[in-house]
């Protein structure tokens, strides 16, 4: 069963009772409050929770239960953009063994895994251009096929420049991709933050450290491996944002309707190894294969294919 994504954008008091998430509309409605302002959700049915209001209270018992069930807890800043992520320290019965395999991974192995990652990312970007734009994508196919170990030619960067030049060409003149750039970058940023949380959650459940990447290695980044593994999934978010733009038109502000659309990302239809499943489930298949690559059981990561 697909796990739920819950979004909280209004004042609320969140607590735990009988393995249920108890939701009250405000902190004043605590234990013993009655009426329609109270509802519950089964903890085991939740995959992601987004906290997007400064007047939301969570009890420590609830947080412990959420982490015990590998729920990704996302917090947002004053601009309503995801800024924090809380994950369990332990998510797999053989975590120590997998940590050791991950730490001991050789540089050639990491370069080969990054090669696979970039190849599939560019291939997925190529498919998006073909399906949703009028841009020629033959060069993308060539770059995908030509990626070498470690992507020493930086074909990922070359493909990205062409991809972003053409993806929103029909909707926006001279789009520039960047976290601090103009809209619709805010939609992409929000969607990527949700995706990053999903991948990090899946990595923990597969017994891996999200911090130790195969390519990303920023000393200030606690989710380097998540940033690596999410790369082939990014085009799914891009397509989701493009569909939103074509439905609603160009807007500078991130609305509640926009957030509702982007919070559908965990349920997007994804194909991994010829099998279709929600993105939240597919992410776990991918990270499980990453763990087996580190231990030598597999040689190829099971990435989604558009």
User: What pTM did the predictor assign?
Assistant: 0.88
Q: Which residue has the higher pLDDT, 2 or 74?
A: 74
* Greatest alpha-carbon span in the chain: 64
Instruction: Give the pLDDT confidence score for residue 111 in this predicted structure.
Output: 97
Which pLDDT tens digit goes with each residue over 272-297?
Answer: 999 999 999 999 999 999 999 999 99
pLDDT tens, residue by residue, 158-193: 999 999 999 999 888 889 999 888 889 999 999 999
Nearest 5°: phi and psi at 38? -115, 135
Confidence at residue 26, expressed as pLDDT on a 0 to 100 scale: 64
**pLDDT exceeds 90 at position 305:** yes
CB within 8 Å of 154: residues ≥ 6 apart: none
Two structure tokens written together for 120: 């599939």
Q: What homologous superfamily is domain 4-86 in, according to CATH?
A: CRISPR-associated endonuclease Cas1, N-terminal domain (3.100.10.20)
Q: Where are the domains of the chain?
A: 4-86, 95-295
**The pLDDT value given to residue 222:** 81
* 28 pLDDT more than 80: no
Given a cut of 90, whether residue 220 has pLDDT beyond it is no
Is domain 95-295 in CATH 1.10.3720.10, yes or no?
Answer: no
3 state DSSP class of 276: strand
Query: Per residue in 105-127, pLDDT tens?
Result: 999 999 999 999 999 999 999 99
Question: Which residues lie closer than 8 Å to 124 by C-beta, 6 or more apart?
Answer: 232, 234, 235, 236, 304, 305, 306
Query: Which pLDDT tens digit goes with each residue over 57-89?
Result: 999 999 999 999 989 999 999 888 888 999 887
């Amino acid at each position: 069963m697909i796990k739920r994504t819950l979004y909280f954008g209004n004042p609320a008091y969140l607590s735990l009772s009988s393995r249920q998430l108890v939701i009250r509309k405000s902190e004043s409605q605590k234990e013993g409050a009655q009426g329609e302002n109270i509802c519950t959700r089964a903890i085991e049915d939740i995959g992601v929770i987004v906290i997007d209001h400064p007047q939301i209270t969570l009890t420590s018992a609830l947080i412990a239960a959420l982490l015990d069930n590998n729920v990704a807890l996302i917090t947002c800043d004053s601009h309503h953009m995801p800024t924090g992520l809380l994950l369990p320290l332990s998510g797999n019965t053989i975590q120590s063994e997998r940590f050791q395999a991950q730490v001991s991974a050789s540089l050639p192995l990491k370069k080969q895994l990054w090669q696979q990652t970039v190849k599939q990312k560019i291939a997925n970007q190529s498919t998006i251009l073909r399906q949703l734009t009028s841009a020629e994508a033959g060069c993308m196919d060539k770059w995908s096929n030509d990626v070498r170990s470690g992507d020493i030619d930086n074909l990922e960067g070359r493909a990205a420049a062409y991809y972003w030049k053409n993806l929103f060409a029909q909707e926006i003149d001279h789009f520039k991709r960047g976290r601090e750039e103009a809209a619709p970058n805010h939609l992409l940023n929000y969607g990527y933050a949700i995706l990053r949380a999903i991948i990090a959650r899946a990595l923990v459940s597969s017994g891996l450290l999200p911090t130790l990447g195969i390519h990303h290695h920023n000393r200030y980044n606690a989710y380097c491996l998540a940033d690596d593994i999410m790369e082939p999934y990014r085009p799914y978010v891009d397509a989701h944002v493009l569909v939103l733009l074509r439905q609603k038109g160009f807007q500078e502000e991130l609305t509640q309707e926009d957030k509702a659309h982007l919070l559908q990302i965990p349920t997007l239809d994804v194909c991994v190894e010829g099998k279709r499943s929600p993105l939240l489930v597919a992410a776990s298949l991918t990270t499980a294969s990453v763990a087996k690559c580190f231990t030598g059981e597999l040689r190829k990561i099971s990435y989604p294919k558009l």
